[in-house]
Copies of this chain bind each other. A is one copy, B any other.
Amino acid sequence: MPEDASVNLEELLKLHPADVADYLQRLPAENAQCILRQVPRPLAAQILTELEKERFRAFTASFSTQELVELFQELAPNAAADLAGELPPEKRRQILAALPAETSAPIKALLHYGEDTAGGIMSDRFIALRSDHTVQQSQEVLRTRAEQRPEDVSYLYVTDEAQRLVGVVSLRDLVFRRPERRIGDIMNRDVKSVRVDADQEEIARRFEHYHYLGLPVVDSENRLVGIVKASDALHVAQREATEDMQLMVGLSGEERALTPWQKSIGRRLPWLYINLATAFLAAAVVSLFESTIARWTVLAVFLPIVAGQGGNAGMQTLTIIIRDMALGELSPGDGWKALLKEATLGLVNGLAIGLAVGLAGYVWKGDWRLGAIAGLAMLLNQLAAALSGVLIPFGLQALKVDPALASSIFVTTVTDVAGFFFFLGLAWAAIRLFGI
Contact = CB atoms under 8 A, between A and B. Distances in A.
B412 A308 contact: yes
B172 A172 contact: no
Interface in A324-346: 324, 327, 329-331, 334, 337-338, 341-342, 344-345
Nearest to A338: B257
Interface stretch (A27-35, A100-108, A159-167, A242-250): A242-250
Contacts of A26: 331, 334
A238 B208 contact: yes
B321 A142 contact: no
Interface stretch (A65-73, A348-356, A426-434): A348-356
Given A257-B320, A305-B282, A208 B230 contact: no
A118 to B, nearest CB: 16
Interface stretch (A179-187, A217-225, A265-273): A265-273
Given A229-B230, A237-B237, A257-B320, A209 B349 contact: no
Contacts of A293: 293, 297, 300
Interface of A: 16, 18-19, 22, 26, 139, 142-143, 146, 152-155, 170-172, 175-176, 204, 207-213, 229-231, 233-235, 237-238, 241-242, 244-246, 248-251, 255-261, 264-265, 268-269, 271-273, 275-276, 278-280, 282-283, 286-287, 290-291, 293-294, 297-305, 307-309, 311-313, 315-316, 319-324, 327, 329-331, 334, 337-338, 341-342, 344-345, 348-349, 352-353, 356-357, 360, 364, 408-409, 412, 416, 420
